[in-house]
Structure 1
Amino acid sequence: MDLIRLLKGIAPEISDILEIRYNILRHVYYNQPIGRRGLSQILNIGERAIRTEVNILKELGLLNIESMGMYVTEDGIKTLESLKAVMRELRGITNLEVKLKQLLALDNVIIVPGDSDLDPLVLKDMGKSASLCLRRLIADNSIIGITGGTTMAQVAEEMPEGKVAENVLVIPARGGLGKDVETQSNSIAAKLAKKLQANYRLLHTPDNLDEMTFQAILKVTDIKEVIELINQMNILIFGIGRSDVMARRRQLPETLISEIIEKGAVGEAFGHYFDIEGNDIYESLTVGISLDNFYKIQRVIGVAGGKNKAEAIIAVTSLRKDITLVTDEGAARKVIQLVKKAT
């Protein structure tokens, strides 16, 4: 946008003002009704400054202030949607996507503004971008696999409702993980299927198994049927995790975690722990997608954000290049910094 570049050159303060008002509208929209004090705490901006900006947005007809708190008006919602493209340009997101795509040599990169480590709403934006990317890939007879975790749960949450194609099946790509049912792959697969008006199958197994239990589970008819579907899936959307975080979430022994970390593991995906170059350091015994399956799936979307996941993103995206990466600005800038430092 030439106009934006011109404005930034002659009045650079416009960028700061736009970003503050955009963030206020966005946070009010996702948290409404919300008071000025609550908004001040979320944005880490003084109440006086918040009051000034809120009054301006109210005068512009973008916010309503009522006894219960603030609401975004219909005009405010339209403005918020229109500002997304402007904010991308102000933050240089398009150029950042090109740079990250070239550095990682990936087929496609989608970046949302912000850092999900610092702002939880950025995770929602990533979920929305990933869900729209997924919708574009779905065709008749698609078999979609999805992993668990908070990021994938957000993808399902942000998926627009409506049928995309006929005879679509959604399946969990792996067994469950942890005690939080909402972030287990079964729950996420079911929710995603309902949003897409598709069919789904569930995989009723824990995520981390001993050898005897693993072999016994593989003989169960329902499990065998789902594993066969996993081997046939043509679309996979998965989350990328940090190796240390995921190892502890799986409650691996501390001695084993130390060993994995000492061997250089920085990233995790579908039970495999990888070093920065994509070497497979350790594999959790689990029912679901294998590394061999991963290489054969036609369409793959990896999703991860936050600068703390930068090394994990580098590790996992080195496995194959014909994938789409959905990430945030914080992770993207950190990945670029790390890759440039290493070369």
Structure 2
Amino acid sequence: MDLIDELGTVVPELGEMLDIRLNVLKALSKHQLRIGRKALAKQIHLSERTLRTNLQVLRDQSLVDVSRAGIRITDEGQRVGHLIQQLRMGQDRLPEYEAALAKELNIQNCWVVAGDVDSDFTVFQMLAEAVQTILGQELPQEAVVAVTGGSTLANMGQHFTKELSQNRQLSFVPSRGGMEGSFHIQSNTVAGIMAHETQADYVPLYIPDRLTDQLSQVIVKDPTIKKALDLSRSADCLLLSVGAAQVMSKRRKLTPPQERILLEGQAVGEAFGIFYDAEGKVVFSIPRLGLQLEDVIKFPLLLTIVAGQQKAPATRAFYKMMPKQTWLICDKSLAKAVLNGVTQFK
């Protein structure tokens, strides 16, 4: 048990108070200019009353500066927030789950954070901190990171920080074109969010995901598009996620005949346009312009970020297609679901 845990046994409300105030400091650290209280409360999902109470404590400790013009974090607030964040990262990581998960999935690297993303939105922050730590340790000084789309990466990417690009020439590039559905989870959008939050370069890929073969041959000759496609294939790292087959078939607006193929093939998951069954065998593949399966398995650093227990079957099957030298970064709820019946973790 570490110091924070021990203090929590004496002051049970300490953990919740610490989370709230750390979230306030994290949010303020991303703003160079002052931000209004209403906008800050909305950003970190707090009532204005709760925020006002906690701001007063932080102000009394000289961690934030509050005026009519808005709120900003002080240098001392930056220092204290970073120190607490480093302490909490060690507390939030679950090594016993990581070891069991790596053995069960036959992969080398796992990072499991505490919590359940379906009931606690702050889990996305912990996932972002884990991914950023790995990238900070593994990426070269000049690095390109390719990014798929999806809600998990979109929510996680909002919590990246500029520390990742310090002393590093960093670029983010989407791994595929746009598809039908929500704008905020498109590969282009997610790569742009990550580039913005880390103050890195951004290379867009403004093309539809699905094109005819004839049109694809013409488009890939465009210098801007060719640059983005080449960068995504030769990137130093790929960030991706997986989804449940039924959910992704709706999101990708598959036709009734295509959905029947998934049903008959007993598809359980989807990643980068490929629907696969419980054994990791391809059931159906959507023609797409961008990374293919043969490209994905060649990346020197492959980070798969998954959260939520409903994605357990998709995650288990996914790693039957992937090389051993890869990463899974997930929350406790996903880890427990994958390990259900294999271990006695609670």
Return the TM-score normalized by structure 1. 0.75
Q: Which residue, 321, 332, 341 being the options, matches 1:329?
A: 332
3-state SS, counterpart of residue 192 of structure 2: helix
Question: In percent, how many aligned pairs have the same letter?
Answer: 25
Name the CA distance, whole Å, in 1 between partners of 2:338 and 2:235.
Answer: 30
Task: After TM superposition, give the deviation of residue 108 of structure 1 in Å.
Answer: 1.0
The equivalent of 2:248 in structure 1 is 246
Q: Which residue, 305, 312, 315 being the options, matches 1:313?
A: 315
Task: After TM superposition, give the deviation of residue 144 of structure 1 in Å.
Answer: 2.4
Name the CA distance, whole Å, in 2 between partners of 1:193 and 1:165.
Answer: 13
Name the CA distance, whole Å, in 1 between partners of 2:315 and 2:277.
Answer: 11
The aligned amino acid for 1:101 is A
Structure 1 206/332 Cα, relative in aligned 2: closer, same or farther at 3 Å?
Answer: same
3-state SS, counterpart of residue 218 of structure 1: helix
Structure 1 281/15 Cα, relative in aligned 2: closer, same or farther at 3 Å?
Answer: farther
Post-superposition Cα deviations, 1:97-147, rounded to whole Å, max 9, x if no partner, equal: 222122212111111211111112212321232233223332145332111
3-state SS, counterpart of residue 253 of structure 2: coil
The aligned amino acid for 1:206 is P
**Over aligned residue pairs, what C-alpha RMSD do you find?**
4.1
How many residues get paired?
A: 324
Structure 1 62/25 Cα, relative in aligned 2: closer, same or farther at 3 Å?
Answer: farther
3-state SS, counterpart of residue 120 of structure 1: coil
The equivalent of 1:115 in structure 2 is 116
The equivalent of 2:205 in structure 1 is 203
Gaps of 5+ in 2: 29-34
Structure 1 198/82 Cα, relative in aligned 2: closer, same or farther at 3 Å?
Answer: closer
More helix by percentage:
1
Name the CA distance, whole Å, in 2 between partners of 1:307 and 1:265.
Answer: 17
The equivalent of 1:136 in structure 2 is 137
Post-superposition Cα deviations, 1:22-74, rounded to whole Å, max 9, x if no partner, equal: 44445666699889xx99xx79xxx9xx9xx98xx89x96999x9x9xx9998
Name the CA distance, whole Å, in 2 between partners of 1:73 and 1:224.
Answer: 42
Name the CA distance, whole Å, in 1 between partners of 2:266 and 2:10.
Answer: 44
The equivalent of 2:151 in structure 1 is 150
Name the CA distance, whole Å, in 1 between partners of 2:304 and 2:316.
Answer: 11
Which stretch shifts more, 182-191 or 87-96?
Answer: 87-96
Post-superposition Cα deviations, 1:123-174, rounded to whole Å, max 9, x if no partner, equal: 23212322332233321453321111222223432222234434x5432111
Structure 1 315/62 Cα, relative in aligned 2: closer, same or farther at 3 Å?
Answer: farther
Given that residues 227 and 288 in structure 1 are in contact (C-alpha distance below 8 angstroms), is that contact kept between their aligned partners in structure 2? yes
Q: Which residue, 270, 278, 284 being the options, matches 2:286?
A: 284
Name the CA distance, whole Å, in 1 between partners of 2:94 and 2:332.
Answer: 7
Name the CA distance, whole Å, in 2 between partners of 1:149 and 1:88.
Answer: 25
Given that residues 22 and 85 in structure 2 are in contact (C-alpha distance below 8 angstroms), is that contact kept between their aligned partners in structure 1? no
Structure 1 24/158 Cα, relative in aligned 2: closer, same or farther at 3 Å?
Answer: closer
Return the TM-score normalized by structure 2. 0.74
The aligned amino acid for 1:219 is V
Name the CA distance, whole Å, in 2 between partners of 1:132 and 1:4.
Answer: 21
Gaps of 5+ in 1: none
